[in-house]
Structure 1
Amino acid sequence: MKNFIRYLLQKTLSFKNYLFLFSLYSIRTIEAGKYEREFLHFIKIIKGDGLILDVGANIGITAAPLAKHHPHAQVHAFEPISENFSTLQRIVNYLKIKNIKLFNIALGSEDGTLKMIMPIRGNSRMQGLSKAYEEGAGEKGTIYDVPLKKLDHIYPFETNISAMKIDVENFELEVLRGSVALLKRNKPMIYCELWDNENRTSVFELLKNIGYQSFTFNNETGSLQPVALREGLPAGNFFFIHS
């Protein structure tokens, strides 16, 4: 049913107008405190006025609240998919957000080009599930070839990065592998979505070796609690804080 309604809205409004209105609605829902309590907690505990990186900024649903809640910080938002990026630009202009810089690229463990896909489910385009394309997976969708960069090459000397939000649909390990020097130098707090697979295990190991401790958000207490990687641990959002 959701896919059918989404399809009707995309067809009626046009895809670009649907993305813009959906982004505005989601941003206002987050700011009203009715959605994404984990993310709101992340915003709340970011310290100082350093640089905040939004990796996988999509259509601005997280980038806008980050910039608005930290007006003295600078937000750098990375989004490789052209339609998503256009919506991100439109949102920033519409909301008159000044402390944000946009990058129309993907991030990974090397510089080059990345093939990506925006999946189609039930005839509707799923912009929030855009991801690295897997040959032979047989997934239906729009294919893109996008520029790929390492964060270590974008910020070779930066020492004022205070926080990173990463949501790149199971490409998080590659992003972090391309950010090791940055992480060691800046020690930013990381808010990261991870699937339940081998990549997640590798992310935990990589960050532990750099000196990070891992946490999840407890909805009942409204605070962070330490987490140990174990069998049966569900997919979700994790906080990584340098010890």
Structure 2
Amino acid sequence: MKNIYMKNIYWFIKQSLTLDYRLFVVSKWSLSKKMMFYLIKYSLLIMRPFKKFKIGDDYANLYGQKIFYDSPYGIAGYQSILARHQYLLNLAEIKNLSLVIDVGANVGFFSKLIRELYPNSAIYSIEPIPETYKCLELNFQNDKKTKTKKIALSDKQGVAKMSFNPDQSSVSHFDNKGKIGVVVETLDNFIAKNKIKLIDLLKIDVEGFEHLVLKGAAKTLAKTNFLFIEITVEDNRNYTLSSLMSQLYSSEFNFQLIGFRNYDDTSIGKMPVMDCLFRNVKLQD
């Protein structure tokens, strides 16, 4: 038991320092802004044993704004997005994003990154869990260019059940035994209702149910330039890597991989989860 505890402590420290380095290298923030981020991050981590986390109540004052976070680890999750996701976006050398759709937004960290990198983007930030959605709304209450939507996206219209862990809201997912009821619609229907003609970037992170979002998005993918998607490989009975890749090609769209990140941050070995950035070459011709 003690060995497992020490192993987890070692893993957490290693991951935290790795994120510090990655953010330092990737971000264009000033040195003072980076140092302030690190100070706030570690202040929250130090206070963790003494303060019970409650989603919707806990936030960090960061550069003049409140950032409501999603776990007892404070803004460490935000840092992961700022460092790792920003690195992948930089690979694509995208100059401008006019419209972005964030499916599975959680509390909005990815949407925050987009606002940081592309200040003029119009963003649709989509999250179905009520407690998490409350944080999402709070994080964008003063952002008139970001529209938040409390729905789940899948391959059909209707209602569904989801599981929710208040200490790990980012892993909420469809679950027939779940206690949270949510409204469900397809991405194609959402796009039509909001009269969206072109999507510069579509991000999908729905904890192993990405295939259902894609299944309900055939028309949407044809008008999407870039796709940023989390793919769960390990212990996933919903799809295989091959079956998911087949959903990214048709006569109307063809997505080419630009870059990926292994969840384990290794270049070789097992790939439990990966973040992938694709470009629709049909729209580049």
TM-score scaled by length of structure 1? 0.75
Decide which moves more: 19-28 or 156-165.
19-28
What is the 5 A alignment of 1:30-49? 37-44=83-90, 45-49=93-97
CA displacement 1:63-106 (0-9 Å, x = unmatched): 1121232122101000000010000111112xx32310000000
Task: Select 1:14's aligned residue among 31, 51, 54.
Answer: 54
Find the counterpart in structure 2 of residue 126 from structure 1: 168
Q: Decide whether the 8 Å contact of 2:68 with 2:135 is kept in 1.
A: no
Find the counterpart in structure 2 of residue 240 from structure 1: 278
CA displacement 1:149-198 (0-9 Å, x = unmatched): 111111125322100111100111111111111111x1321111111143
SS in 1 for 2:96: coil
Find the counterpart in structure 2 of residue 81 from structure 1: 129
Task: Select 1:109's aligned residue among 155, 167, 185.
Answer: 155
Q: Tell me how far apart the structure 2 counterparts of residues 49 and 236 of structure 1 sit (CA, whole Å).
A: 23
**Structure 1: gaps spanning 5 or more residues:** 136-141, 220-224, 226-230
SS in 1 for 2:109: coil
Letter in 2 for 1:189: F
SS in 2 for 1:188: strand
Residue 132 (structure 1) shift: 0.5
Task: Select 2:227's aligned residue among 190, 193, 200.
Answer: 190
Which structure 1 residue ranges, 4+ long, deviate > 4 Å from structure 2? Answer: 8-11, 231-234
Matched, 1:149 2:185: yes
CA displacement 1:34-77 (0-9 Å, x = unmatched): x6533103444444342101100001111112123212210100
Task: Select 1:52's aligned residue among 100, 103, 107.
Answer: 100
Decide which moves more: 171-180 or 188-197.
188-197
1:70 to 1:9, Cα distance in 2 relative to 1, 3 A: farther
Task: Select 2:256's aligned residue among 213, 227, 234.
Answer: 213
Give the paired residue count.
Answer: 213
Note the aligned Cα RMSD (angstroms). Answer: 3.1
**Structure 2: gaps spanning 5 or more residues:** 9-44, 60-66
Q: Decide whether the 8 Å contact of 2:261 with 2:274 is kept in 1.
A: no
Find the counterpart in structure 2 of residue 29 from structure 1: 79
Q: Decide whether the 8 Å contact of 1:56 with 1:79 is kept in 2.
A: yes
TM-score scaled by length of structure 2? 0.65
Identity in percent? 23
